[in-house]
């Protein structure tokens, strides 16, 4: 009987920890989205962007490297999920 209550208590603590970590992750994603939208509305705002998404980096470079974008080489013609070739569009 005592061992069962110990296992139930540990399982309860584990579920509570998972729930708290899930809430913290959701709050972080919401904060990141709010920072990006504020930076988009006011580019000179004093907002720190903590992470650059890979899709934004490749879109800014035209789907290729910075050297290719500067030389006017354009996109490398990489296939994108919809079957087209070219620079993937930002889904936002």
DSSP 26-73: HHHHHHHHHHHHHHHH-TTS--------HHHHHHHTTTS-HHHHHHT-
> pLDDT tens digits for the chain (92 residues)?
799 999 999 999 999 999 999 999 999 999 989 988 998 898 888 887 776 666 555 555 555 555 555 554 444 455 545 555 555 566 66
For residue 54, the model assigns a pLDDT of 64
For residue 49, the model assigns a pLDDT of 77
- Specify whether the CB–CB gap between 75 and 62 falls below 8 A: yes
For residue 53, the model assigns a pLDDT of 64
d(CA 51, CA 57): 11
d(CA 80, CA 75): 12
């Amino acid at each position: 009987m005592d061992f069962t209550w110990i296992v139930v208590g540990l399982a309860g603590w584990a579920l509570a920890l998972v729930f708290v970590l899930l809430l913290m992750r959701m709050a972080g994603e919401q904060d990141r989205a709010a920072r990006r939208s504020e930076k988009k509305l006011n580019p000179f705002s004093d907002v720190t962007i903590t992470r650059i998404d890979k899709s934004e980096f490749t879109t800014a470079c035209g789907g290729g490297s910075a050297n290719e974008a500067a030389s006017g080489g354009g996109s490398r013609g990489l296939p994108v999920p919809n079957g087209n070739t070219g620079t993937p569009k930002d889904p936002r």
